[in-house]
Amino acid sequence: MGSERVRAALKRNDLVLLVVANDRSERVKNKVERLARALSVPIISSASAAEIGGAVGRGPIQVIGIRDRKLAAGIRAATNGDVR
């Protein structure tokens, strides 16, 4: 998902978790993360954009929005609940 698609999903209250790269751009920090915090959507940042993209079979990805609660719970468990 691109940052604009993630922002749109956040505005629709479609996301239960946000996964952001620890090497994300200032734009993602300022636009996407700020909105997620305002909406009380948990944020995980424990991997690089290359690692996140590699986990889903793509190139570098700075931000992914998670809609499925069970998937979000699995991600949180795999990252030891490292949520902000």
Question: All domains of the chain, ordered by start, with CATH?
Answer: 3-78 (3.30.1330.30)
**pLDDT on residue 81:** 59
**Six-digit token string for 69:** 């609660």
Task: Say what the pLDDT of residue 1 is.
Answer: 61
pLDDT of residue 84: 64
Residue-wise pLDDT for 24-74, tens only, equals 999 888 999 999 999 999 999 989 999 999 988 999 999 999 999 999 999
Q: How many CB atoms lie within 10 A of CB 14?
A: 13
pLDDT value of residue 46: 82
Query: SS3 for 64?
Result: strand
Number of neighbouring beta carbons within 10 Å of residue 37: 13
DSSP 2: -
Single out the residue of 59, 80, 61 nearest to residue 20, CA to CA: 61
**Taking the model in full, what pTM does it have?**
0.88
pLDDT at position 51 is: 94
CA nearest neighbour of 62 among 34, 7, 23: 23
